[in-house]
Chain A
Amino acid sequence: MLEAIGPGSHIDGFVLGELVHRGSMASIYRLAGPDGPLPLIIKIPRLGAGERAVNVIAFEVCRMVLGALAQGSHYPTLVAYGDVETTPYLVMGWIDGVRLDERLARVPLPPDEIAQVGAALALALHDIHRQDVAHLDLKPTNVLYRPNGEAVLVDFGLAHHAHYPDLLAEELRMPVGNWVYMSPEQVLGVRCDPRSDIYALGAILYQLATGRLPQGHPRSVRELRRRLYRSPVPPRALVAGTAAWLQEIILRCLEIDARDRYASAADVASDLANPGAVILTERSERTRSEAWPTLARRWLYSRRFQPAPCPPPSTRIGPAPIVLVAIPPSNGDEPLLEAMREAAKQVIAADASCRIAGVTVVPAAAALSGTRHEESATGRHIRHLVELRRWARSLPLPEERLTLHVLESDKPAAALVDYARMNDVEQVLVGAPRSVVAARLFRSVCAQVVAEAPCSVTVVRPRV
């Protein structure tokens, strides 16, 4: 029945419109309505003689995983599907967006743009990881960007959901997925680690930053296995002047052992969104590949390479929640600052792995008067950072788990809520107003944050 389909064909009452994409595994059509195209697409797997068995499994997996995801903006919505035995198809929401591979024509991209598209992609990944799904086939053609900058992941045919049997685990002798972006553990057949997506994200960032692929185009399993012992050439060796923070992020994503990578995609998003806060290590300074003795040692080791065990579903996402502490700009309310410090210490005591982000919102620089406002704005920024540092001084937290930001905005509550949303913050600590004067100024901030934050908010008040 499905062999001779094309625009105008009817399937289960759906009318096919224009062909959007013909891939090796499936064809995608827009659905036609009485008044032009509907905001829906239909995906029909390529089945039958001469087609690969993996196509039908990918169809089943796609249906299973998309059906299990909560409705959200980072992946298509599954609207309807046909029976795998008779008329397999998936009807999904049409995504109005630009594919990431269209940017590849302009590589290397400027760091700002990489940070922006990378952070959006990392947040999309975090969204599915939080639902116990690993995509496992992340590549530029599977990422779309909506006009508002949000990333959308498509094609979940090779994905893994921790709550379902993995139909792909046994069928496939050869490592399944795109070899260019595939993580070392996937090469060895591990299909349950969301950190594999972080590796693929690193490979995409590498490509955007250098125009090259971190491990080239492997043509055989032997070439594919090189990534078990060989780190990519540092971006700095290819594009002189690659920012240290960007190289740090990319190479950390591309670590061979999943445990050495970022624990969660939200951490990557946070670093990309706050380059100044990236903790630079030896990775950021590398200018050449490993010396051959290192390579030889790693090669020997790689023959017995044991991939990191997959984290169990409940703790699957790196246990590093970000807690935002909103510090009011220097108002001299020492008891409140002390109370917030105590509250932060309690959070740290309760979860030893958390990250604290101390944030102060100050009015936008343009709002300042004076001829030398550029200079005074910088000076003011530093003054607030010093204040923040003073506040954070006695927190029992290693440096890399503490970040301090001075945000400029005339709408402090909105800025805090935005920050919480962008960085996937787990909890917000906000100070309660103490005096009547402060209440006038800050109650709205506190109340607005409580009302609008995408997570739990704790209002901190000093003991009277």
Chain B
Amino acid sequence: MKLALFADIHSNLEALTACLAHAGAIGADRYGFLGDLVGYGADPVPVLELIEDHARDGAIVVLGNHDAAVLGRPDDTLNIYAQAAIGWTRAQLAPRHRAFLESLPLTVRDDDMLFVHASAAAPGQWIYVSSLREARESMRATDAGYVFSGHVHEQKLFYMGADGRPMPFRPVAGTPIPTPKHRRWLAIVGSAGQPRDRSNQACYALADRERSRLTFYRVPYDFSRAAKKIRSAGLPERAARRLERGT
């Protein structure tokens, strides 16, 4: 099984389709969407419908904080730009899109894998796994050998050291990393729809389950088209610029 994992898609249809095409071309046969399907971007409806199609075919989908905010659950971590997009997104959605979001769980457990948008330690509190402490807490909260998550927009991989200290690693795009089952791993797959590490290429990761290998990818996509849509929708200019600059 080759499992393609996408997080923080943020209504960016161009990025999502480019990543899906890339994953399909290299043999992905299963899909996981790790939350924040909407927010910031201008295509919430097509993105949700595309993911819903995959969900019907057995894809894993979990809820993110932007998705929860669209459903009206309070989230004071969102800044004013994000809030503006949330209100706009809510207005775009039909009841069936809301129903799909309502149906999403905070975590999914499948075999030795756990899927969660933010930290597995408190899935609904949207904790950023941005330091070793949070990585350790997220890994300790579960006995799953592999934790796949998003929320933090940069790609990162941790393995649990023998002394219970997670060891961080910044992956090199396109290099398959052996992730044997006798170790425990936490992978942050990176943002598909709003990369922020000064590269405007979309992020995703592919887990090859048979060979126990994990590959992080960067995929070029038509970011100017996505940015243009954000501007014509009247969404904050900042969200459009972020796509162009990758910041």
**Number of contacting residues on A, CB 8 A?**
18
Chain A residues with CB under 8 A of B177: 163-165
Contact B159 A167 (CB under 8 A): yes
| Chain B neighbourhood of A167, CB < 8 A | 159
Is A60 in contact with B167, judged by CB distance below 8 angstroms?
A: no
Docked-complex contact A165 and B157, CB < 8 angstroms: yes
CB interface residues, A 148-172, toward B, < 8 Å:
162-167, 169-171
- Shortest distance between the CB of A344 and any CB in chain B (Å): 35
Q: Which residues in A have some Cβ–Cβ distance to B below 8 Å? A: 53, 60, 63-64, 67-68, 84-85, 162-167, 169-171, 313
B172 and A165 form a contact (CB under 8 A): no
B172 touches A170 (CB 8 A): no
Contact mask for chain B residues 176-218; partner A; CB cutoff 8 A; 1 contact, 0 none: 0110111000000000000000000000000000000000000
Asked if B165 is at the interface of the complex by the 8 Å CB criterion, the answer is yes
Q: How far is the CB of B56 from chain A (nearest CB, A)?
A: 36
B27-76 interface with A by 8 A CB criterion: none
Closest A residue, CB atoms, query B163: A170
Per the bound structure, the CA–CA distance linking A171 and B177 in Å amounts to 19
Pick the contact of B167 from A64, A67, A165 — CB < 8 Å? A165
B180 touches A163 (CB 8 A): no
15 contacting pairs across A/B (C-beta < 8 A):
A53-B162, A60-B180, A67-B178, A85-B182, A162-B172, A163-B177, A164-B178, A165-B167, A165-B169, A165-B177, A166-B169, A169-B167, A170-B163, A170-B167, A313-B172
B172 and A171 contact, CB distance less than 8 A = no
**Inter-chain contact A64/B172, CB cutoff 8 Å:** no
State how many angstroms separate the Cβ of B218 from the closest Cβ of chain A.
Answer: 14
Residues of B within 8 A of A313 (CB): 172
User: Nearest chain-B residue to A171 (Cβ)?
Assistant: B162
* Interface set of B (CB-CB < 8 Å, partner A): 157, 159, 161-163, 165, 167, 169, 171-172, 175, 177-178, 180-182
B159 to chain A, nearest CB (A): 6
Q: For the complex formed, measure the closest distance between the CB of B188 and the CB atoms of chain A, giving whole angstroms.
A: 14
Determine if B167 and A163 form an interchain contact, defined as CB atoms under 8 angstroms apart: no
Give Cα A171 to B178, complex, Å: 18
* Chain B residues positioned under 8 Å from A64 (CB to CB): 178
Query: With a CB–CB cut-off of 8 A, which chain A residues contact B180?
Result: 60, 84-85
Complex CA distance for A169 and B178, rounded to whole angstroms: 16
Query: Quick check: A171 and B157 within 8 Å, CB to CB?
Result: no
Min CB distance A190 to B, Å, is 15
A63 partner residues in chain B, CB cutoff 8 A: 178
CA A295 to CA B159, docked complex, whole Å: 41
Least Cβ–Cβ distance between A188 and chain B, in angstroms = 17
CA distance A220 to B107 in the complex (A): 50
The residues of B that contact A60 with a CB separation of less than 8 Å are: 178, 180
Min CB–CB distance B145 → chain A (angstroms): 12
B215 to chain A, nearest CB (A): 11
A53, A67, A163: which contacts B172 (Cβ < 8 A)?
A: A163
Which A residues touch B182, using CB under 8 A? Answer: 84-85
User: A165 touching B159 by the CB < 8 A rule?
Assistant: yes
Residue on A with the closest CB to B175?
A163
Quote the shortest CB–CB distance from B177 to chain A (angstroms): 6
- Name B179's closest neighbour in chain A (CB-CB): A165
Question: Cα distance A101–B161 when bound, in Å?
Answer: 35
The interface residues of chain B lying within 8 Å CB-to-CB of A68 are: 175
- CB pair B162–A170 under 8 Å, yes or no, is yes
State A59–B171 Cα separation when bound (angstroms). 21
Contacts of B172 in A (CB 8 A): 162-163, 313
Query: Quick one: closest A residue to B181, CB to CB?
Result: A85
How far is the CB of B182 from the nearest CB of chain A, in Å? 5
Min CB–CB distance B221 → chain A (angstroms): 23
CB distance from A87 to the nearest CB of B (A): 14
Which residues does chain B contribute within 8 Å of A163, judged by CB atoms?
A: 171-172, 175, 177
Besides A63-B178, A167-B159, 6 other A-B contacts (C-beta < 8 A): A64-B178, A85-B182, A162-B172, A163-B171, A164-B175, A171-B161
| Docked-complex contact A166 and B178, CB < 8 angstroms | no
Q: Whose C-beta in chain A lies nearest to the C-beta of B180? A: A84
- Give complex CA distance A60, B175 in Å: 17
A60 to B163, CA, bound (A): 18
Nearest chain B CB to A444's CB is how many angstroms away? Answer: 42
Partner of B161, one of A162, A164, A170: A170
A85–B157 CA distance with the chains assembled, in angstroms: 22
Across the two chains, which residue of chain B brings its CB closest to A162? Answer: B172
| Complex Cα gap A163–B169 (Å) | 9
Q: Which of A63, A68, A167 has the most CB of B within 10 A?
A: A167
For B166, give the chain A residue with the smallest CB separation: A170
Provide the residues of chain B in CB contact with A166, threshold 8 Å: 167, 169
In the assembled complex, how far is the CB of residue B158 from the closest CB belonging to chain A, in whole angstroms?
8
Taking CB as reference atom, which chain B residue is nearest A164?
Answer: B177
* C-alpha gap A69/B181 in the complex (Å): 23
- Chain A: CB-nearest residue to B168: A165
B181: chain A residues at CB < 8 Å are 85
CA distance A162 to B175 in the complex (A): 10
Q: Tell which of B163, B177, B178, B182 has the most Cβ of chain A within 10 Å.
A: B178
Q: What distance in Å separates the Cβ of B213 from its nearest Cβ neighbour in chain A?
A: 10
Rounded to whole angstroms, the CA-CA distance of A313 and B169 in the bound complex is: 13
Chain A residues near B178 (CB-CB < 8 A): 60, 63-64, 67, 164
* Distance in Å: Cβ of A256 to nearest Cβ of chain B: 28
What CA separation (Å) do A163 and B181 show in the bound complex?
Answer: 19
Min distance, Cβ A330 to any Cβ of chain B, angstroms: 50
A166–B167 Cα distance when bound, in Å, is 8
Bound-state CA distance A85–B175 (Å) is 24
CA distance A222 to B159 in the complex (A): 31
Q: A373 to B180, alpha carbons, bound, how many Å?
A: 68
Give the nearest-CB partner of B182 in chain A: A85
Contacts of A171 in B (CB 8 A): 161-162
Q: How far is the CB of A309 from chain B (nearest CB, A)?
A: 15
- Shortest Cβ distance from B160 into A: residue: A170
Assembly CA distance A36 to B157 (angstroms): 46
* Nearest-neighbor residue (CB-CB) of A83 within chain B: B180
Cβ distance B111 to chain A, nearest Cβ, rounded Å: 17
Could you tell me the distance between the alpha carbons of A64 and B180 in the complex, rounded to whole angstroms? 11
> In the assembly, what is the distance between CA of A27 and CA of B165, in Å?
31
Top 10 A-B pairs, shortest CB-CB distance: A165-B169, A170-B161, A163-B175, A163-B172, A170-B167, A64-B178, A85-B182, A171-B162, A165-B159, A164-B177
